[in-house]
Structure 1
Amino acid sequence: MMFRKLRFSGRTEWVLISIAIISFIIAVIQVSNYNEAAPYESSEETFLHSDLIAGAGSGSLVHAQKSERTKSILLPAGFNIPEDLVRNHLKDTASSEWPISQLLSREVLNQPPGEESHYRTHEPFSMYQESEEGDCEEDLKHTIEDLEISPREIIPGNFTRILEIVIEEHDKYKDPFYKYIRPILITHIRAEFEANLVNRFWYRLSGSSVWLKDYNVHFVVSRFMFADKGERSTPKASFVLAQVFDKNWHELQDVRLVFPTNDLGGEEDPTFHSDGQTFSSYRFPRILPVPFDFHADERNMGPEDPRLILVRNKNGHDEPVAIFNSHYDKFETKEDGTKESNAFRSMFMAFPFQLTKGKRHLPELSDENTDKLYFTKSLELEVEHHEKPKTCKNWSPMVSDFEREVNGGFDTSISFATNLENLEIVRCSLDTGKCGRLYKKSGDNIGPLRGGTAFVNLNSILKQQRHIPLHKLLPPGREVYFAFARAHLHKCGCGIGFYRPNMVVMVKDEARYSAESDGGKVEATKYFYRTLYVSDYLSLHVPIDPWYVDNPYGMCEGTNALIPNGIASWKLDSLTHKEGKWIANDNLKLQFSVSDFSVDRVDFNGVLNMLLNLKGNSAFLPPPSVKGTIFEHLKVTMPELGPQGELTESLAGVGKKNIECAIESSKKFCVAFAREQEYFKNEKPKVDKAEANKKLKDQIAEFQKMYEVEIAQESNKNQQLDNPEEEEDDY
C-alpha cells in the first residue's frame, strides 16, 4: 500500500522525496569521482580474508555464465569433415554423442566483438621518448590523460569442474597423459574431493589468450599450479591449463575442439584424416600434455608462466604457440666420456594443436616409459654460437609482418626480445627452436624492465582498415611493435618486490649498405631495434590483493604485484585524420595477474590513437595534412649507414635514457602507493585472523594424515596386482 500512499501524497512530500533522491545521486557521484581520481586507492582488497584463502583470487569461486555451446563438438571453419569420421574418432569418449557444429564462412569473426562496459579515464601517466640527452621531466616526458579503461573482470576457472574432468578422463577414458602424471596428482585429487579441499591446493595465474577465428572462441592458457602442501611458494608442479570461452567471455565448460594438426604417420596415432588434412581433438578444459622433467620426489616441476601468440602455419591456418620457462637438466659429455648433469631454467615453445610421440624433441627428457605417449610438440629455445645462461626467463615474442610476406604468407620463425634494458633480439625457427641473434645493444645487464606480454606488430593492426594505406603511416622498411612490460623494483618502499605494467613502443628498421667482399661490393642489410617510448607505471585502476592471504591489510608485505601477461586482441574500427592529428577508434584487451594468483582482464579504448599522436621522434609518419614535415621526419628517425655499416648520424632510440626516466618515475609511484597503504592500514579495523589461520592449518594437517593413509592403501593394492604390467597397457 506504500505506493498508493505516495501517489496521493501532497506537494510537500514530493519535494522532500525529490530532495532526498537528488542528494543520494550527488553522494553517489562524489564517491564515484573520488575513487576514480585517486591513483593509488587501488589498495582496497578485492576479497575477504576467508575468500582469499579459499582460492577466490584464482577465479575458482567466481560465478561463471555457461556458454550455450557447452557439451558440443566444434569443427574448424573452412574444412570439409564428414560426421562419420568425427564420430569414429570420438568413439568411446565422453564426447561421442555430443552435437557437432561448424561456422559458416560468413559467421567467422576476424576479431572478437567489442563489449559494452563502463569505461572511465585512466589516471594520467607519462610516456618517455628516447633521446641521448635532455631532462626527463622537461624534455622527454609526454603526459597521457585521455586513455579509457574498463573495470577489472576475473576470467573464471572452476577448479572443481576442471579436476572432475581430469579424474573422469583418467578413470573412464584412460587419458595417457593423466595416467603418466598419476604418481604426483591423481590420488591427491581424489583426497581433495573427499575432504572438500580442492581450492586449498591449486592456484591459477599468468593467463593469456588468443582469438581463434575458425571457432569464434577465446583460447586461454594459464599456469595451473599444484601446491601439495598448501603453500603456493613451494609448489609441487605447474601445468598449462587450457580453457575455451565464447565471444562474450562465457566459458564453454565442457567442449571438444577438433583441430588441424601434424601427421605423425603412425596407424595408432590419435588422429584422423579428411580432405588431405590431419585432425585431432581435445576436450576442454584440460591440462595440456606438455612434456617436462618429471620426478615424483621433486618440486617446482613443469612449465611456468605461459604466454600465447598466434602464428600462421604453412597451410595458411592461424595456430597458437605457447612460450614458457621450465627447469631442464641437460647432460654434457666430459673428456673422460662420462656425462654430467647441469640444471638450467630454459625457455620453450609449445604448439597446443600439434603432437609428438615421446619426447624426441627434448632428448634429455626421453625415456622408455614415454616413447609411446603423445605429447604437445615442444621445443627448447637455444641461441646458437653463444654460451647458454643458467636462467632464461621473460622472453617477449613477436611476429614479423615483413617476413611473413617474404615467406609467401606464413611464418617460419618467431623473434624474441630477451633483454629490454640492453636491447637484445633473437630469431628462432618454428621447426627446430634454434635461434640466431638479430640485434644486440652493448651491455649484458638485465635491468628492472622485464618482459610481460608478447609484442603486437602494429603493422598488422593498421592493416585492419583500408582507408589509409600503410606507406602513408610508416616509413619504408619499418615495423612497429607494442607491449606491456613490467618493471621489477626491489625494496622501493612497498614490500620486497613491486611490479606494475609499463608500456613499451619498439621499432625495427632495415637499412641497406654496400659492403666490401672478396668479389667486390655486395648489398647488405642491417637491422636496428629501438625502444622509442617507455611509460612509467600504470595502475589499471585495479585493486591489489595481498601477497600473504592471511594478512588482508598487509599490501606492502612480501611482494606487491600486478603483472601483464597477454594482449588478447586489438581491434581497429576506423582510422582518419583531422587538423594534423590521427584519429583511431581502437580497442585493446589486456590480461594480467594480481599477486600471482589471479587471471584477469581489462579493455582499453584509444591506445593506438595515443601512439599515433605521440610527439617527438614518433614511430609513425604525420598525417598528410601536416605539410613539409615527412622528409625531416625520415631524416631524424631512419638510420643512414656508411660503407662499413656504421651509423653516419646519431639515431634516436639507440640509447636508453627513456628507460631510466620511466624507472625513476615508477619508483615514485611505488613510494606514493606505500604511503597510501600505511594510511589505509591505520584507518581499517583490526581483524583477528588467528581463528581462520588455525582452522586452515588444522584442515591441512587433517588432510595430510588422510592422504598418507590413501597412499599406503594404494601402495598395498599395487603390490597385490597379479599382473604388474597391466598399468603400462594404459599408456
Structure 2
Amino acid sequence: MYTISRKRPGRPVIISLCCVVIVLIIETYFALRLYETKISDPQPQRKASFYTAGKLIIFPLSFLTLKKEAKLYYNKYFNSKLTARDSIIVNVPENPIIPDLEFKHHTFDIYETKGEVLRSRENSHEKTQDKMKCELIVRTIDVKVSEAENRNCDLRKILRQFVNSNSTYYRELEQLIPDLTLQLDDDTIAEHWFQLIGSSVWLREYGVHLLTSRIVYSKTGDKDRPVVSLTYVQIFDQHWQELENAELIVPVVEQKEKRKILTKQSKSITYKIMLYPSFAFVPIYYNTKRHRPVFYGSEDPRLILVKNSLGFEEPIINYNLFHKTIARIKKPNDKSETKATGEINFEEVEVAEFYRSMYLGWLWRTQTGKGNVDPTDTKNKEHQYIKTKELMLPNGKRTKTEKNWSPFISYTDRLQSGKDEHIYFIYQYKDLRILKCSFESDLCEWTFQLTDSPNISQLRGGTQLMSITQFLDENLENNYSSMRKIKKSIWANFSKQLAKSQVDEVWIGVPRTALRRCGCGEKLYRPHIVTLARVKNTFALTQVSSSTDFDIDVLSWSGDADHKCVGNNLILPNGISHWQVDYDDRIAQEDVLTLSFSRADITVDIIYIRGVLKNILPLLTEVVKNWKHKAEFSNQLIYCAIEGAFEYCRKYKENVYSDWKSKAPEKL
C-alpha cells in the first residue's frame, strides 16, 4: 500500500497561480469585449442613433421640453401608458451623417446658355437648333460618386403586417388583392409584388429620413401590367437604419382633426401620432368588374417638403391617379320630338368619365370619404384617408392622361409670405411651360409659357427641383454660426456672385430622358442634371446635362445579367433626398447630394454624389449675369441633351455587346 503525501503549496506558488488566473480573466474579458464590438457594430459610421425594444416616440425639436415632461404629455394627452421598453426622443440630430464611403470620379457633359455663342450662330442664318451649337456650349464636369445602396424592404414581412392589421384600408382593397393570403402562405410574394420609386426627405424637426415607395401588385407577375399601386412610408435614422414601431408626434394644421392641445411658446398647438412604417391610406378609385387593365392606385409618388401655416415643414406627395368623375351632358329626349315641328328637346343626364390626373397628398392630414376620386362611392364615405387634392389645368378641362410633372417650391416666395402658399411644376421642358398651383384653390395657372402648345419631349419627370438659392443661404448661415468658422467660404463667394446678378432664384433637378428603341432595348431611361432660373415671372433653363448613369450598375429587365439590352434598361431618378456641405473637409468643402433612384422597376436605391454644385456653380454665376434672351435658348439645351442621350445610348449598346462577347467563350 502506497501512501501519497500531499504537501501544501508554498506562498510563492499560490501567488503565481493567482497572477495567471487574473491575466486569463483580463484577456478573456477584453477578448469578449472585442468580439461583442465586432458583432454589434461592424460599421461604426452606420451605428443606429436610436434603439428601443418597444415603441420609439420622437417629439419635434421645436417642442422645447425635457424628456420627463414629454413623457407626462404623452401619457396625458394620448391616453397611452409608456412601458419600460419604450423610449422618448426629444433631442435629435439636425443633419444626417455623411457616411465614410469610397468615392470614384465620374464625368459627364453639360450644356449651358452662353448667349453670345448662340446669338452668333443665329446670325449665321443656320437653323435655330443644330449640332454645331452643341459643340460650342458644352463642357465636361467631374464629380465623385459612391456605390449604390439598396433600401428595399422585406415585402413578405410588410404585407403580412398589412393583412394582420385588418385596417379599414386593407379590408377595402382586399377585393383587388384576393390572393395575398395564399401568396404569403405559398411564399410566392416575389413573383407578384414589387417595390420601386423610392423618394425621401430629411425631417430636421425629427432627425429622420422619411421615405415613400411604390408597392405594386401584378396578378400575372408582369411588371408592366400591375393591378394596383400602394404607397408605403418608412422612417430611417441619420445613418439610414430603419426605425420600426416608431411614432412621430406631429402638429395638426387643420383643427377639425380633434386632439388634445399642448402648449408651445404661448401658442396652442394640436399634436397627433403618426406611426411608421405603414401604408399611406391614399383614396383610390377601382372597379373589380372592369375587365380591361387600368392600373389603379397612386403611381410614382414623389415627396416634397412644404412650410405650412404653423411654420413646420410638412411632407406631401405628388403622384398620378386613375379616377372617376361625373359630368352632366345634354342628351336628346326622343319623346319630345313632334311630327309637327320636328323640334327636339334636350335633357341633362349624368355620365361617368375617367381620367389619369395629377394629385397632391398630405401625409399628415386626413379627409373623410373619397368623393374627390370616386364621387359615386358611398360604401367608404365614413372612412379616413390622407388628404388629397386634384391638380387642375388653368382652363378647368382635364386631359385623358397627366403625369411626369416636376415639382418645386419657391424659397423667395416663402420668405415673402412666411409659408408656402403655392407649389410649382415644370409641365414640359421643351417649349418650357411652368404651372403655379395654389394649395387652396382648385385651378392652377400658367406662370410661364414659352409657347402655349403641348410639346412633351423625351426629357421629363424625374426628381423635384431644389432651390440653390435656399441651399446657399442656409449653408452660409450654418457655416458662420458653427464653431468651425471658415472666413473664406467658397459658398459665401458663390452667394455674393448670384446676388449681384439679376436672377431672383435658381433651382437644380434631375429629370430623365425616356428613349424608345434607341439601340438598347425597348426603352432606355437615364438621369440628366438641369438648372432653372427665374427673373420676376420669366423662367429659363440655364444648364442641361447629357445622359449620365453615375456609374450605377444597371440591372437587366429579365433578371439575366447578360441581356441588359433586352426589354427595358432603366435608371429612374426619383428624388433628391438631401443636400448638404461636408464641413468636416475644411479644404474641399464639397456639397454632397443624396439621390434616390430605381433600377429595372424593382429597386429602391440611393447614391451619394460629391461636388455637383461646386462644379456647376462657377459657370452658372457667369451664365445668369446677362439674363436677356436666356428663355429663348432653353430649347437649344434640350435639343443638345437629347442628341447627347442618343449618342450615350449608342455607346452604351456597344459596351454592353462588347462585354457580352468577352464573356461568351466562358459559357461555351
Q: Which residue of 1 aligns with 2:339?
A: none
1:149 equivalent to 2:149? Answer no
Question: Which protein has greater RCO, CA pairs closer than 8 Å, 6+ apart?
Answer: 1
Q: CA deviation at 1:166?
A: 1.3
- Match for residue 587 of structure 1 among 574, 586, 592: 592
SS in 1 for 2:367: strand
Q: Unpaired runs of 5+ in structure 1?
A: 1-63, 511-526, 620-632, 640-649, 689-731
User: What's the offset of the Cα at 1:347?
Assistant: 0.3
**Change beyond 3 A, Cα 1:380–1:678:** same
1:325 and 2:320 matched: yes
Question: Structure 1 477/385 Cα, relative in aligned 2: closer, same or farther at 3 Å?
Answer: same
Residue by residue over 1:283-338, the C-alpha shift from the partner in whole angstroms, topping out at 9 and shown as x without a partner, is 32211001011333455110000111111001000011100001122221102311
Structure 2 match to 1:280: 272
Matches of 2:503 and 2:547, distance apart in 1? 31
1:165 Cα offset (Å): 2.2
Instruction: Report what 1:168 is aligned to.
Output: 164
Q: Is the radius of gyration larger for structure 1 or structure 2? A: 2
Q: Counterpart of 1:614 in 2: which secondary structure?
A: helix
Q: How many residues align?
A: 563
Which one of 223, 242, 248 corresponds to residue 251 of structure 1?
Answer: 242
The secondary structure found in structure 1 opposite 2:159 is helix
Deviations 1:536-565 (A, max 9, x none): 01111111111123x432211121110110
1:565 aligns with 2:570: no
The whole-number CA distance in structure 1 between the counterparts of 2:412 and 2:232 is 33
Distance 2:551 2:643 in 1: 21
Alignment map for 1:37-76 (pairs within 5 Å): 68-69=50-51, 71-76=55-60
Matches within 5 A, 1:438-453: 438-442=447-451, 443-453=453-463
What is the distance in 1 between the residues matched to 2:618 and 2:368? 51
Aligned: 1:235 with 2:231: no
Following superposition, the deviation at residue 401 of structure 1 comes to 1.1
Residue by residue over 1:402-428, the C-alpha shift from the partner in whole angstroms, topping out at 9 and shown as x without a partner, is: 111111x21111011110111111111
Q: Does 1:217 align with 2:217?
A: no
CA contact (8 A) 1:238 1:303 kept: yes
Residue deviations 1:245-266 (CA, integer Å, cap 9, x gap): 1110111133222222234536
- Please state if 1:501 is matched with 2:527: yes
2:538 is equivalent to residue 528 of structure 1: yes
Instruction: Indicate conservation of the 8 Å contact 1:130/1:655, yes or no.
Output: no
Does 2:88 correspond to 1:101?
Answer: yes
Match of 1:597 among 587, 602, 608: 602
Q: Partners in 1 of 2:429 and 2:114 — Cα distance?
A: 14
CA distance, structure 2, for counterparts of residue 501 and residue 230 of structure 1: 27
1:343 correspondence with 2:344: no
Cα separation, partners in 2 of 1:666 and 1:575, compared to 1, 3 Å:
farther
* Number of the residue aligned with 1:392: 402
**Which secondary structure does the structure 1 equivalent of 2:158 belong to?**
helix
Counterpart of 1:296 in structure 2: which amino acid? T
* 1:465 aligned counterpart, secondary structure: helix
**Residue 554 (str. 1) matches residue 563 (str. 2):** yes
2:498 corresponding residue in structure 1: 473
TM-superposed deviation, 1:88: 6.6
CA contact (8 A) 2:284 2:370 kept: no
8 Å contact from structure 2 (residues 497, 621) kept in 1: no
Change (3 A) 1:68 1:572: closer
Tell me the equivalent position of 2:104. Answer: 120
**CA offset digits 1:494-542 (Å, max 9, x no partner):** 11211100111110111xxxxxxxxxxxxxxxx1110111110111111
Aligned match of 2:517: 491
Q: Can you give the 5+ residue segments of structure 2 that lack an aligned partner in the other structure?
A: 1-45, 122-131, 331-346, 478-488
Structure 2 residue 665 is matched with structure 1 residue 670: no
Residues 472 and 128 from structure 1, CA distance in 2 versus in 1: closer, same or farther, beyond 3 angstroms?
Answer: closer
Query: How far apart, CA to CA, are the structure 2 residues paired with 1:528 and 1:404?
Result: 18
In structure 2, the CA distance between the partners of 1:115 and 1:234, relative to structure 1 (3 Å rule), is same
Distance 2:171 2:80 in 1: 17
Residue in structure 2 matched with residue 25 of structure 1 by the alignment: none
Who is 2:217 aligned against?
Answer: 226
Alignment correspondent of 2:364: 353
**Partner letter of residue 391 of structure 1?**
T
Counterpart contact for 2:102–2:146, Cα < 8 Å: yes
1:636-662 CA distances to partner (integer Å, 9 max, x unpaired)?
A: 22x4xxxxxxxxxx4465441111111
2:382 counterpart of 1:372: yes
Q: What is the distance in 2 between the residues matched to 1:344 and 1:363?
A: 10
Tell me if structure 2 keeps the 8 A contact 1:532–1:653: no
Cα contact 1:292–1:302 (8 A) shared by 2: yes
SS at the partner of 1:291? coil
Deviation at 1:686, TM superposition (A): 9.1
Counterpart position of 1:425: 434
Query: Which residue among 308, 311, 323 is the counterpart of 1:313?
Result: 308
- Higher alpha-carbon deviation: 224-233 or 415-424: 224-233
**Residue 261 (structure 1) aligned with residue 245 (structure 2):** no
Per-residue deviation, 1:201? 1.8
Partner in structure 2 of residue 644 of structure 1: none
Contact conserved, 1:130 with 1:652, CA < 8 A, in 2? no
CA distance in 1: counterparts of 2:623 and 2:352, whole angstroms: 49
| Larger mean Cα displacement after TM superposition, 552-561 or 310-319 | 552-561
User: Deviation string for 1:472-500 (max 9, x for gaps)?
Assistant: 43324521011011011121111121110
* Alignment CA distance shift 1:152-1:82 (3 Å): closer
2:283 is paired with a residue of what secondary structure? Answer: coil
How far off its partner does 1:232 sit? 1.8
Contact 2:321 / 2:357 at 8 angstroms: preserved in 1? yes
User: Distance in 2 between the 1:366 and 1:313 partners?
Assistant: 32
Describe the SS at the equivalent of 1:684: helix
Is the contact made by 2:196 and 2:603 (CA closer than 8 Å) also made in structure 1? yes
Amino acid at match of 2:353: N
Residues 452 and 91 from structure 1, CA distance in 2 versus in 1: closer, same or farther, beyond 3 angstroms? same
- What amino acid is aligned across from residue 333 of structure 1 in structure 2? R
Structure 2 counterpart of 1:516: none
Write the distance in 1 (CA, Å) between the matches of 2:531 and 2:632.
10
Shift of the 433–584 alpha-carbon distance from structure 1 to 2, 3 Å rule, reads: farther
Letter in 2 for 1:74: I
Distance 2:666 2:169 in 1: 45
Q: After superposing the two structures, state which structure 1 stretch, 242-251 or 127-136, moved more.
A: 127-136
